[in-house]
């Protein structure tokens, strides 16, 4: 006889309760999910925005280049003789005049040579005086023998001897004169070499660099210092060689200097006909009249090529820059705003060229950008 177990009804009751609880949880979750899906999406509404429709317009064709400010006139000072710097009268930043003594060299060999040449002149002059005296004696003797020969008081041979003496004396004077002239030219050269111990400023300007100090030994053609004429500066723009046929003197260019913050509208003064083989650029020079500029400053130039190109321009106020990303707010379908990345090009006045990211007919936000958020509805 089998006795029924008392635990079986209890297990069934627990199983039923567990199933009912699970169904209740699932029903609750399903109801919450449906309510979330059915909740209406709310978007912020904004008003008071300035909008502009993008259009393709013609703009002047320009080329943006960079360059360096240089003095129009500069001089690299060097010496023609070796020596030791015994006197140094200038340093960087000093203003000098043309002909001013910059430094003095100690070159005893040149000074000794100058003194020797001066003594050589005195010796050559005394030799000339002696030759002239011999010629006078020979001339007087010849005249006497000429009279005697005419009177047949001396022989023909004696007369010929005195005539030869007279010619030799004349040649001696000519040689003495030549030696004196040679000595004078040598003394002049030695004096000039002695004068080279004084290094003189070739132009008026400012000392921008100095490569030697007091007591240094210098050699011929060694750079000693650089002088720049600070009254005339020019900007040397590096033009790509692909534009060699388009860039000409007289073309308009807008110049800006980052250090001074100045901008000026001017023209190209000179174009160097030879290109740099290393950078594949050639130099266009622009005269500068701004104050407070210095050689070596960085400059920019926008050269107008005299033609037009089609481009899309938007106000500069519409462009947002965050790090390396550039974007604009666009009002699209449904009057909603979307942030769109763009690639910008040149700046023309207060407008910026858009190279990619926009199309003709797009509407962009140009004012009130601080109110705009992604997906906002424009009223």
Please report, for the chain, the start and end positions of each structural domain, with discontinuous segments joined by +. Answer: 50-59+310-378, 63-72+229-308, 76-105+197-228, 108-195
Does the pLDDT value for residue 6 go beyond 70? no
Fold that domain 50-59+310-378 belongs to in CATH: 2.40.420
Answer yes or no: same fold for 50-59+310-378 and 63-72+229-308. Answer: no
Q: Which one of 3.40.640.10, 3.40.50.80, 2.40.30.170, 1.10.1240.10 gives the CATH number of domain 63-72+229-308? A: 2.40.30.170
CATH class of 76-105+197-228: mainly beta
pLDDT by residue (tens digit) across 56-67? 888 877 888 999
Work out the widest C-alpha separation in the chain, in whole angstroms.
203
Q: Using an 8 Å Cβ cutoff, are 198 and 104 in contact?
A: yes
Put simply, whether the predicted model's pTM sits higher than 0.95 gets the answer: no
Residue closest to 236 by CA, chosen among 74, 72, 68: 68
pLDDT by residue (tens digit) across 124-182? 888 888 889 988 998 888 888 888 888 888 888 888 888 898 899 889 889 988 888 88
Q: What is the DSSP string of 122-148?
A: HHHHHHHHHHHHHHHHHHHHHHHHHHH
What are the phi and psi torsion angles at 257 (to 5°)? -115, 120
pLDDT by residue (tens digit) across 199-244? 999 999 999 999 999 989 899 889 999 999 988 899 999 999 888 8
Alpha-carbon span 225 to 222, nearest angstrom: 9
Tokens 């029924």 label which residue?
Answer: 4
Strands 198-200 and 56-71: unpaired
Chain-wide mean pLDDT for the chain? Answer: 82
Residue 327 β-bridge partners: 320, 341
Cα distance between the two ends of the chain: 88
């Amino acid at each position: 006889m089998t006795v029924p177990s008392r635990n079986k009804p209890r297990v069934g009751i627990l199983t039923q309760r567990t199933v009912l609880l699970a169904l209740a949880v699932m029903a609750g979750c399903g109801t919450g999910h449906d309510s979330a899906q059915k909740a209406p999406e709310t978007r912020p509404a904004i008003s008071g925005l300035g909008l502009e429709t993008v259009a393709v317009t013609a703009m002047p064709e320009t080329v943006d280049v960079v360059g360096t400010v240089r003095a129009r006139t500069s001089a690299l000072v060097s010496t023609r003789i070796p020596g030791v710097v015994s006197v140094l009268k200038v340093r960087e930043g000093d203003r000098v005049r043309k002909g001013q003594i910059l430094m003095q060299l100690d070159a005893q060999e040149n000074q000794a040579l100058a003194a020797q040449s001066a003594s050589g002149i005195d010796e050559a002059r005394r030799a000339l005086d002696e030759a002239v005296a011999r010629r006078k004696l020979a001339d007087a003797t010849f005249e006497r023998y000429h009279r005697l020969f005419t009177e047949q008081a001396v022989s023909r041979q004696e007369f010929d001897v005195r005539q030869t003496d007279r010619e030799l004396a004349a040649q001696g004077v000519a040689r003495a004169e030549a030696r004196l002239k040679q000595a004078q030219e040598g003394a002049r050269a030695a004096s000039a070499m002695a004068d080279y111990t004084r290094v003189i400023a070739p132009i008026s300007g400012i000392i921008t660099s100095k490569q030697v100090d007091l007591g240094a030994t210098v050699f011929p053609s060694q750079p000693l210092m650089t002088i720049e004429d600070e009254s005339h500066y020019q900007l040397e723009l590096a033009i790509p060689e692909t534009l060699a046929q388009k860039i000409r003197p007289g073309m308009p260019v807008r110049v800006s200097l980052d250090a001074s913050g100045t901008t000026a509208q001017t023209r190209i003064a000179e174009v160097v006909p030879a290109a740099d083989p290393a950078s594949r650029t050639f130099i266009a020079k622009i005269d500068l009249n701004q104050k407070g500029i210095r050689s070596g400053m960085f400059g920019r130039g926008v050269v107008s090529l005299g033609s037009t190109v089609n481009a899309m321009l938007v106000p500069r106020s519409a462009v947002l820059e965050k790090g390396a990303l550039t974007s604009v707010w666009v009002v699209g379908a449904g009057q909603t705003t979307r942030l769109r990345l763009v690639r910008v090009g040149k700046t023309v006045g207060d407008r910026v060229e858009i190279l990619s990211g926009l199309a003709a007919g797009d509407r962009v936000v140009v004012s009130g950008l601080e109110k705009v958020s992604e997906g906002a509805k424009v009223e």
